[in-house]
Chains A and B, each alone.
Chain A
């Protein structure tokens, strides 16, 4: 099964590159020292840690001392937001309504605990509206956190412009670059950000490792306390093998950035082919988009069924359908860009990596339209007007739990 599997869910996680794994292995078996120990085993680990820090820094144009290793993208986002908020004590934060839950839920928590938060809207392409964001800046604003690229629809945000707005007013800028790192070139200095989150497992490194770039001179507080590792910002014995893997993945990503051209060509082939299916919508921008992301809504069907039909053919994808989420709510990102709940329902996300091949795209271009056709043959609807007529006349929101959760 796994040999013939076509994996198109690289925004969820990626395969560890065999070269990355090879670099990691000695740090489990022979070089298992604690990087804080003064003996030779410790210095072996420490050297590996610092080499990895330099490699991760190089991927984003930072200095090594500006890189704090964490347990992943979620922790990096939390450290950036809570770290800045605790340092400040009170005030106003601006984020966007299309952020990852790691940012959204952190901001919502702060909002319930004395801070003020503005969620800047996005346009129909999934790009955060700069003018609305600018208007929401006020005297107490101390942090703006907007992702560099969205994890569902791949839309790339105007971070440099946001930094320019913020810099003039002394506001910190954080960006979640978990999806963009390794896919588009990043230079923290030209972006002008103060903090930037990354995650290893999205760039063919191991899971459970990430980093937060904290620009020299930027003051934040730690969210966990202990032995004072990572400049006191992230205590805890470093995950050396994981960090070595992250470093190796970062170096490979930087060296093979050219691969993204090939990935983009495959993605464009998929996009062209799948948009030929009738009654489909492209979610996200055509141009301001990660090279490996495609997100399409197929009307009149539901994404969980589509996902399972494709899985039965060995194709792994993802959907923003309410039915496949734990909360039975449709994707907040698709709703934020103006998709109806019905259209969010039939959404399919395909995210590619350098390990995909042109031959695989051919197979996907055959399988997806067939699966869509099959589900449409079961669907009572063939047009938006039919669906609307049904809603006006028959839609039931009954007394049962269904009405509550759906």
Chain B
């Protein structure tokens, strides 16, 4: 079991923005149940800003903490700003992750980008 930073443990023990948005404007889903990690990111967009964001995650403590961290990073950002949130941003905001757990934070950023993609596709349609 890797050693987690206090920030990771805080987000794992007290996840922010956990849940589902039934009227989401965009949903991003990544991961693979056979690997054990799956993330859903729901976004609600108002005036080009991420007005609300929620997550649902099946995965380790790092996966849950990165989902929670990501929602804090993305909330209130414009779509353009949110697109720039990178895989590294999530991990560094948590004070780092054990190397073996880096892929969990990759998932969180990826899920957000997919949610934005979904939102933009829906807008086009």
Contact = CB atoms under 8 A, between A and B. Distances in A.
Interface of A: 300-302, 304-305, 307-309, 312, 321-324, 326, 328, 330, 340-342, 345, 377-381, 387, 390-391, 394-398, 400-402, 405-406
A329 B101 CA distance: 13
A210 B12 CA distance: 39
Contacts of A300: 58
Return the 8 tightest CB-CB contacts between A and B, nearest first.
A402-B103, A323-B60, A406-B35, A345-B36, A380-B56, A304-B60, A379-B58, A395-B32
Contacts of A390: 29, 33, 38
B1 interface: yes
A380 B38 contact: yes
Nearest to A321: B36
A300 B37 CA distance: 10
B57 interface: yes
Given A326-B100, A328-B100, A341-B35, 19 more contacts: A302-B60, A302-B63, A305-B61, A305-B64, A322-B35, A323-B36, A323-B59, A323-B60, A323-B63, A342-B34, A378-B57, A380-B56, A387-B33, A390-B29, A390-B38, A395-B33, A396-B32, A396-B110, A401-B102
15 contacts: A300-B58, A301-B58, A304-B61, A305-B61, A322-B35, A323-B60, A328-B100, A340-B34, A341-B36, A380-B29, A380-B58, A396-B30, A396-B31, A406-B35, A406-B103
With a 10 A CB-CB cut-off, give which of B18, B60, B102, B103 has the most chain A CB atoms. B60
Given A305-B64, A342-B36, A397-B32, A405 B103 contact: yes
A381 B38 contact: yes
Interface in B5-42: 9, 12-13, 15, 18, 29-40
Contacts of A340: 34
A270 B7 CA distance: 33
Contact of B1 (A324, A395, A398, A402): A324
Max count, chain A CB within 10 A of own CB: residue among B32, B64, B107: B32
B65 to A, nearest CB: 10
B86 interface: no
Contacts of B34: 340-342, 391, 395
A354 to B, nearest CB: 26
B37 A406 contact: yes
A374 to B, nearest CB: 10
B78 interface: no
A301 B59 CA distance: 7
Contacts of B57: 378-380
Interface in B40-55: 40
Contacts of B30: 394, 396
A394 B39 CA distance: 11
